[in-house]
Structure formats: C-alpha cells, structure tokens
Amino acid sequence: MTTVLHKVRLIMDLRRDGITDTKVLSAMEGIPREKFVPAALKSRAYENTALPISFNQTVSQPTVVARMATALELGDRLKLLEIGTGSGYNAAVLSRLVRRVYTIERFRPMVLGAEAIFSDLGLHNITAILGDGMRGWSPQAPFDRICVTAAAPEPPAQLIDQLAEGGIMVMPVGGPHQVQTLMRYRKRESRILEEPLDQVRFVPLIADVAEETQAS
C-alpha cells in the first residue's frame, strides 16, 4: 500500500474516532508522519498508534494528537507553547493551525533533530527551545494556548501563570504508572476552569534540562 493510501486510511480512522474538525484533519493530512519516526518504523508511520522514539519517548497516537488539537480550539492568529517537543510531530501539526509555535524539550539531540525536520519541511513558524518545560518560556509569555505532551500530577503553576486571559491549556494529569486524564484548563477573569476530556497515557513531565550523559 502506498503512503497516500496509508494516509487516507488514517484520516478515515480519525473520522471514525470522532474527529470532525476539518482544519485539524487537513493539518494531520498535510504533515508527513514518516519524517518523525525511526527508519525501522517508517512502514508503520500511518498506523493509528503511538510509536517509540529515542530517550524512552513516543510519537503520540494520531487520534490523541487530533483530540488535543481540537480541544485547544485553535486559530491562525494564536501563539502556542508546546511542552515536550519529542520528535517534533505534534508541533508540526500545530504549526498548520496557529500563527506561532514555541516548543520546549529537555533533550538537546531531540531539539536538534526536530529543528532539522522543521527546516526540511519549511515550517518556519516553529521555534524549538532546549529548556525545562515545567517553567514554560517566560520571554514570550503570555500564550494564547499551551499544549503539554507529558503527564504531571497537577498543572505546573508557572504554565498557568503564562496562559493568557481567555487562554486554553490542554495536558494529561496523573501519575506515570496509571491511566491519566486529559484535562482542559480555561483562564477566565483570572479563574481557572477545569474540564476532563479523555483517558490517556503519556510519559511523565520531568523538570530540568537533561544532562549530556542522559542524552548520549
């Protein structure tokens, strides 16, 4: 089966899973997922499943990527912060839906790898940053949207602080060895409104930049 047919089948799977936002589906269709997975797994790039990458991380399941993008209520005038660049796939999809994406990763090789793919694909509205995701990125705050692709027992206070008035943050909440809850947080008149969305599994959100020995 050709890549095009694999991609069509994935989009059909997303529709069956309840993803109906045409802008999100178009963004998913427009990003070549095979660019973001290891060479040995390229034949599985359009399976609707998470795939392992380096540093015990994964490329998220396309259904989860689409649900998070939909929950964020994105628009082309918005500035978005992503926590957890990983391979760069999620940031690439989001870049098709907002004005600007800032994405933070704690592993330097992953930042460099993602930057190379973004450049190759001509995705010039993404800035990848080596940093501590729990601290967000204050130089560009506040953000209209924040997407967290790693789980924590509760939303980090600094991320909430960097969310703009009227903004939305979506992140998985829960421990690393349990089913987590995908939560949506809305900031309204300095109040945070919480809404559970789905059950998910993500790698844990870890503080600090990884030491070079961890990233070797």
Domain boundaries of the chain, sorted by first residue:
3-200
pLDDT in tens, 127-174: 999 999 999 999 999 999 999 999 999 999 999 999 999 999 999 999
pLDDT in tens, 68-101: 999 999 999 999 999 999 999 999 999 999 999 9
pLDDT in tens, 49-74: 999 999 989 999 999 999 999 999 99
Partners of residue 126 on adjacent β-strands: 101
CB 171 within 8 A of CB 148: yes
Beta-sheet pairing, 143-148 with 79-83: parallel
> What predicted TM-score, i.e. pTM, was given to this entire model?
0.94
* Tokens describing residue 85: 């660049």
43 labelled catalytic = no
Residues 6+ apart with CB under 8 A from 10: 28, 46, 47, 48, 62
Q: Which of 26, 43, 54, 60 is catalytic?
A: 60
pLDDT in tens, 4-60: 888 999 999 999 999 999 999 999 999 999 999 999 999 999 999 999 999 989 999
Residues 6+ apart with CB under 8 A from 134: 83, 152, 156, 158, 159, 205, 207
In the CATH hierarchy, which fold is given to the domain comprising 3-200? Rossmann fold (3.40.50)
- State the amino acid at position 211 in one-letter form: E
